[in-house]
Every structure is written in structure tokens, then in C-alpha cells.
Amino acid sequence: MFNDIGALELVVLVVLAVLVFGPDKLPKVIQDVSGFIRKIRDFSENAKHDIRSELGPEFKDFEFEDLNPKTFIRKQLTENEDLKEIRSSFDLKKEINDVADAVNGHEPDASVPAGVGGAASRAEGPGGGTDLLKKGDRPDQADRPPFDADAT
């Protein structure tokens, strides 16, 4: 329950409680607070049980933590077989390396199909003509303006 409270914070809370309530009333306050927390937990568990019983047997594995959008998405991404298959067929590092090679003017891998970024798709532009950024058409290093890191 107190996962994110450190030892020093706990000591400060105890000292504040002694100062506010006094040493003679503190045990009674602690009992009242713990009883209140116990009642809230019982109420919460009863509400969860009632909701599960009303939903029926098809929702017997229903967890209320799944209502959190982050938890729901994480669970769907890890348990869905179709998404696992799609994720395994998509190699993001290879795609990024191919794009970087194309930008830097290196030859693409032979394993890349022509329609996905191979030689045929880079040789012709969108209009069917030649690409303006072919390796031979690039300006020399001397013709390029200097790189300014502060300007970017």
C-alpha cells in the first residue's frame, strides 16, 4: 500500500501525527482509520463480486485492472496472436537501415523487393521519371553549405 513512501517520509508522518493528535489519542485514531480502510476494502470486494456475478459466467476471468487503457492495450498486444504474427513479420530495424542507406546513397540489399524500396522504386520518381537524388546527381561536399547544429 505504501510502496512509494520512504523511511524518512514515514518518520515525518509519525511525528506529525503525534504532534496533531497527541500521544494519548493516537492509538484510537489509528484504530478508527484502520477500521475505515477495512470497511472500504470490504465494500470494494463486495462490489466487484456483485458486478462479476451480474456479468455472467463468460466474464469470470474479468479483471477490473483491464479497464485501465494502458493495461488493456498492453494485454491485447501481448496476447493477440494476429498482432504477434504481424509484429514478427515487420522488421523495423531493417526498414530504418534501408531508408538510411537510400538517403546516404548506399546500394540497397538484394533481399528488399523492388516495390518496398528496392532499386526500381528509387530509380523512378513518383511521375515515372528518374529520381532527382540519384547518387550521381548529388552535390559535392565543397558545394554544400556548412552544417550548423544550432540552426536545427
Tell me the pLDDT tens digit for each residue of 102-130. 888 776 555 545 444 444 444 444 444 45
Q: Are residues 43 and 18 part of one domain? A: yes
d(CA 108, CA 98): 6
Indicate the number of domains in the chain: 3
Give me 46's grid cell. Answer: 463486495
Clarify whether residues 48 and 75 are in a common domain.
Answer: no
151 lies in some domain: no
Predicted local distance difference test score (pLDDT) of residue 111: 53
Does residue 51 share a domain with residue 1?
A: yes
Query: Would you place residue 16 in the very low, low, confident or very high pLDDT band (cuts 50, 70, 90)?
Result: very high
pLDDT band at 61 (very low <50, low <70, confident <90, very high): confident
Distance CA(87)–CA(81), nearest Å, equals: 10
For residue 122, tell me if it sits in a domain.
Answer: yes
Which contacts qualify for 90-93: CB closer than 8 Å, 24 or more apart?
none
Chain-centroid distance of CA 37 in Å reads 33
Worst-scoring range by mean pLDDT, 6-15, 72-81, 83-92, 104-113?
104-113
Question: From CA 94, how far away is CA 74, in angstroms rounded?
Answer: 24
Per-residue pLDDT, averaged over 29-47, amounts to: 94
Q: Which residue has the cell 546516404?
A: 104
| pLDDT higher than 80, residue 8 | yes
Contact by Cβ (8 Å): 108, 119: yes
Position 152 scores a pLDDT of 65
Q: From CA 53, how far away is CA 59, in angstroms rounded? A: 9
Grid-cell match 479497464, residue found: 67
CA distance 18 to 30: 11
When pLDDT is cut at 50, 70 and 90, the band that residue 46 belongs to is very high
Provide the mean pLDDT of the chain.
Answer: 76
pTM (predicted TM-score): 0.40
Residue 18 in domain: yes
Q: Is residue 45 scored above 60 in pLDDT?
A: yes
Look up the domain containing 110 and give its range. 91-126
